[in-house]
Structure formats: structure tokens, C-alpha cells
Amino acid sequence: MDFNTYQKESRKTAIYPKIGHEIVYPALGLAGESGEVVEKIKKLFRNDNGVIGDEAKVELAKELGDVIWYVSQIATELGISMEEVVQMNLEKLKKRMSEGKIASTGDNR
């Protein structure tokens, strides 16, 4: 599935309360879901010595899917396609790599 198809299909499930601006709810959801990914990884190290088994991979994949859902909704609220988001990201990373700044700090390196 391509990103734009995902964005279009996932939008059909975007039923959330309007809290001020339309971007607020999905932004808060993104923060929560990102935290869930990190929490699962933390528990892998606490409980399983960092061993990532098949069940853990499935659970992490589910959480990553939730992260992508919220990213998609934010992009939609901004009027940006997911294809644009991923293309811009790759272009930014390629530029940083070519300039030797892939590991630098700052937003606009």
C-alpha cells in the first residue's frame, strides 16, 4: 500500500473530538502513541534483557501503526499528502548526508 492510499483510507476512521484547532487531538494522540512505543521498548530491556521476540515485534508493529495513523491525520489536517511528507523527509536526509551533517544538531542544518 502506498502512503497516499493509507492516508485516504485511514481518514475514514478519523473520528475524534474537535479540541480547539483540528490539529490538537491528533497531535496529542501522536505524543501518546510515541510514548507507548518507547514504553514497550523499555519493558523489553527491563523484563527480557533487551531480547525482541516475535510477540514483541508484533506488539511494536501495532504501536508503530498507531503512530503512523496520527501522523497521517496531522498531515491531512495540514492539507499535506503523506507522499509529500515522506519525500520531503528523504530529500532533507539526503541533503544532510551529502553535507556531512547527518549526525549534527539543529532543525535546519
Q: Please give the pLDDT value at position 106.
A: 61
User: Residue 86 sits in a domain of what CATH number?
Assistant: 1.10.287.1080
Distance of alpha carbon 4 from alpha carbon 102, whole angstroms? 27
Domain presence at residue 66: yes
Cβ pair 33, 64 in contact under 8 A: no
**103 lies in a domain?**
no
State the pLDDT at residue 10.
Answer: 97
Q: What is the chain's length?
A: 109
- Residue 109 in domain: no
- The pLDDT value recorded for residue 104 is 64
Give the Cα separation of 33 and 78 in Å (integer). Answer: 20
pLDDT score at 101:
82
* Residue 104 covered by a domain: no
The long-range contacts involving 5-12, CB below 8 angstroms and separated by at least 24 positions, are 6/68, 6/72, 6/82, 7/72, 7/75, 7/76, 7/81, 7/82, 10/69, 10/72, 10/73, 11/72, 11/73, 11/76
What is the DSSP secondary structure assignment for residue 49, as one 8-state letter? T
How many domains is the chain built from?
A: 1
Q: Looking at residue 20, what is its pLDDT?
A: 87
pTM greater than 0.85 (yes/no)? yes
